[in-house]
Amino acid sequence: MRAVLVVNPEATSTSPAGRDVLSHALAGAVKLELVETRYRGHAADTGARATVEGHDLVVVHGGDGTVNEVVNGMLRTEVSAGARRPSLAVIPGGSANVFAGALGIPRTPIEATHHLLRALERESGRWIGLGRANGRWFTFNAGVGIDADVVAEVERRRERGRRVTPWLYASVALGCYLRGIHRRPLLTVHPDTEDPVSGVHAAMISNADPWTYLGSRPVHTNPETSFDSGIGVFALRSMLPHYVSRHVAQMLRDRAKPHGKTLFRRANLGTLRVVCQEPLRVQIDGDSLGELSVIDFESVPNALHVVE
């Protein structure tokens, strides 16, 4: 089996020692090529090249952003008739590792490596569905509005040298919320099976559960959503504190399903359009797409084969 190991050396939980241990362990099971990312888009280019060259497996050791890049590189590349795209495997190396968590992969790199080696020995894997936003693939979530503002601000602080932690996300989220509490709603969401819903402040689209993690604690916006179903939407129609605090508490419960008169929530959608009265920030898998006015989301079943 030919495999490429993509390592993001700038990711929160990666290190040269960890990279060496991981590559040594994998080299005993596969014919391995190691690639350390050096520029934005390098992971996507590596995923595309691995697909063109007919590799069997791409292993990503990095955060959700690196995983997203690799997936987009793999899936943007045409394959010849009868050929198969590489499978994907993930060794968590970021701060949240939401995609890996949704797949049930252990959170520590050493445990995840042992998990992967056992899966390769058993030839264990499955096909999962993914989402797309204006043609860009996402693995677990996307959002329009406040969560995209949070992603952009955290990235700005990270570039200035701040370490990304759950508490940084929480403090930035609180600041973004307080700045936007009195803004008028600018979004209309168009589910594929219902009439449009207007007066929306923020829309969170999920391809899996949980939506994200607060440290090790999962945050649930659409508990019914999975890699085997369509996408889900969680749309806030009020930013008043008592409504928002109620929904936050619901999202942090293990078994609760968020609900309320100011919340529009649906699961298992095939398509969803979000229209903004003025351009708003959009994020996918924790990576900012910039400001957009119309975003078309879609669910694509059986888009990617993963080793787990």
Q: Determine which of 66-70, 84-88, 142-146, 161-165 has the lowest per-residue pLDDT on average.
A: 161-165
Matching CATH number, 137-302, of 1.10.1060.10, 3.40.50.150, 1.20.1630.10, 2.60.200.40: 2.60.200.40
Query: Taking 80 as the threshold, does the pLDDT of residue 80 lie above it?
Result: no
**% pLDDT > 70, the chain:** 99
Examine domains 2-123 and 137-302 and report if their fold is the same: no
Give the residue, 11 or 117, on which the prediction is more confident.
117
Sequence spans of domains, the chain: 2-123, 137-302
Q: Determine which of 177-181, 238-242, 254-258 has the lowest per-residue pLDDT on average.
A: 254-258
pLDDT band at 84 (very low <50, low <70, confident <90, very high): confident
Judged by DSSP in three states, 289 sits in strand
When pLDDT is averaged across residues 142-153 and rounded to a whole number, the result is 94
- Encoded amino acid at 100, one letter: A
What's the CA angle centered on 9, arms 308 and 290, to 5 degrees?
Answer: 85
Query: Taking 70 as the threshold, does the pLDDT of residue 240 lie above it?
Result: yes
pLDDT digits (tens, 9 = 90+) for 276-300: 999 999 999 999 999 999 999 999 9
- The DSSP result for 15-81, as a single string, is -HHHHHHHHHHHHTTSEEEEEE--STTHHHHHHHHHHHTT-SEEEEEE-HHHHHHHHHHHHTS---T
Is 141:98 a contact under the CB 8 Å cutoff?
yes
pLDDT at 224: 94
pLDDT digits (tens, 9 = 90+) for 202-236: 999 999 999 999 888 899 999 999 999 999 999 99
Is 169:236 a contact under the CB 8 Å cutoff?
no
Judged by DSSP in three states, 180 sits in helix
> What's the N-to-C CA distance of the chain in angstroms?
16
Evaluate the CA torsion angle 229, 231, 233, 234 in order and state its sign: positive
Query: Taking 80 as the threshold, does the pLDDT of residue 155 lie above it?
Result: yes
pLDDT at 75: 96
Give the residue, 18 or 100, on which the prediction is more confident.
100
When pLDDT is averaged across residues 144-173 and rounded to a whole number, the result is 88
pLDDT at 34: 96
pLDDT at 167: 84
pLDDT band at 81 (very low <50, low <70, confident <90, very high): low
Query: Taking 90 as the threshold, does the pLDDT of residue 165 lie above it?
Result: no
Q: What is the CATH architecture assignment of 2-123?
A: 3-Layer(aba) Sandwich (3.40)
Is 131:207 a contact under the CB 8 Å cutoff?
yes
pLDDT digits (tens, 9 = 90+) for 246-263: 999 999 998 778 999 999
